[in-house]
Amino acid sequence: MKKYRGISFSLIALFTSLIIFSSCEKDEDTVVEEPQGSFFSAIISGNNKSITPGNNGYLSENGDTCYTDLVGDHFSSSTRFYQAPSGYYISSREIVEFSLVNLLDSAMLNKDSLFHARLSESSLPVFTYYNQDSSVATGIQIRWRNSSGVWYSTAGGAQSGGVYVDTTLNTTGTGGFSSRELYIRFDCDLYEEGGDATLNLINGKARIYLFNTCFY
């Protein structure tokens, strides 16, 4: 005589619900919130790259320079994201640097107002030495050091993209030096410094701070 073992109704219901859940579940992108402070992200020659100061040993550093010649008063301001030389994190040689290059005052204007007015524009040219007089040209220069330690820059060749300012804010503190926060989007070509290689950068985004300590 054969014996049959029954399967409980609750077990059947469990299997059915798992099948239904699996068939209805869809693949979705994981939402990653952008950092509230400084950051950089882009696709460089097909590779996703991102740097956030405060993560994985990365720091931010600012600097500015001024000089005067027969053309007028010149000002440049830069910020770079780089990794501290030692610490308990994954070592990386990648660095990104943004510079407002050669802001020129040839008419004895209020220089700090010129600094803020320029960075309040909705778009800025990508700085390049290509086919222009570098003594009067201005714009945003982007430099990138890859994992092999090779530097690339927008300055070395023609550019078809631009730098677009989504938001801009005067962040100067009372009694402090002048500063400005920029949230920018950009596409550009990066040319190897001292070489012939080229990298294509697309979908670039960054929140940066530029300082003015000498252009007054």
Whole-angstrom distance, CA of residue 205 vs CA of residue 53:
14
Structure-block tokens of residue 214: 């000498």
Name the region of 10 (left: φ>0; alpha: ψ -120 to 50; beta: rest).
alpha
- Mean pLDDT, to the nearest integer, of 101-127? 93
Structure-block tokens of residue 62: 């600012």
Q: Count of CB atoms within 10 A of residue 136's CB?
A: 12
- Domain range summary for the chain, segments of one domain joined by +: 38-212
Strand pairing report for 58-68 and 95-105: unpaired
The CA-atom distances, in angstroms, between 96 and each of 67, 99, 121, 150 are 25, 10, 23, 12
Whole-angstrom distance, CA of residue 155 vs CA of residue 152:
9
pLDDT value of position 89: 83
Which of 24-33, 110-119, 170-179 is least confident?
24-33
pLDDT surpasses 80 at 13: no
pLDDT surpasses 60 at 113: yes
- Mean pLDDT, to the nearest integer, of 53-75? 95
pLDDT surpasses 90 at 20: no
Whole-angstrom distance, CA of residue 187 vs CA of residue 181:
20
pLDDT band for position 3 (cuts 50, 70, 90): very low
pLDDT surpasses 80 at 187: yes
The CA-atom distances, in angstroms, between 112 and each of 121, 159, 167, 169, 183 are 15, 28, 19, 14, 20
pLDDT band for position 16 (cuts 50, 70, 90): low
Q: Count of CB atoms within 10 A of residue 58's CB?
A: 21
